Amino acid sequence: MSSTYPHYESPIQLYDVVFIIIPRLDRAQKLVNKTLDTLIEGATDPKDLTKRLEQRRDFTLELQAIHTNLEYLLERHRPDVKELLRTGGISGNRAIEPDEMEQDAIERAKEIYRKVVEFQTGRRNVPF
């Protein structure tokens, strides 16, 4: 795992999901969407356009699955999430045990972020 994104073991802290993983996923999503939009707008070859449109569709579907599972996770811990948000992370934190789908969503979110960091640091040609 990249040193810019620590490896979180289960049980993970609710704070990490709310204040680290989800915000990083949101930032990565914006960058990937901007990049794809630019590539789609600039595509002159129909094959390239088709490829980029498929990438955008696949990325959108992956994000929907990730967000759905993260929403379930947050809903299961709603009182603690509310307390975390109310106090800016000062109280309400606790170790959580994500189910298999939630853990997969967390890992996929971290992987998307890792790829975007690699793109931003020149170790990858595209952020997806």
128 alpha-carbon distance from chain centroid: 12
What is the total count of domains within the chain?
Answer: 1
Asked if residue 91 is part of any domain, the answer here is: yes
Q: pTM for the full model? A: 0.85
Asked if residue 2 is part of any domain, the answer here is: no
Identity at 54, one-letter amino acid code: E
Range of the domain at 53: 12-120
For CA atoms 82, 7, 11, 58, the dihedral sign is positive
Asked if residue 72 is part of any domain, the answer here is: yes
Asked if residue 52 is part of any domain, the answer here is: yes
Q: What is the pLDDT of residues 55-72, one digit of tens each?
A: 999 999 999 999 999 999
Give the chain's mean pLDDT: 91
Q: What is the pLDDT of residues 90-127, one digit of tens each?
A: 999 999 999 999 999 999 999 999 999 998 888 887 77
d(CA 28, CA 3): 17
Asked if residue 3 is part of any domain, the answer here is: no
Q: Determine the 3-state secondary structure of 13 from DSSP.
A: strand
Asked if residue 127 is part of any domain, the answer here is: no
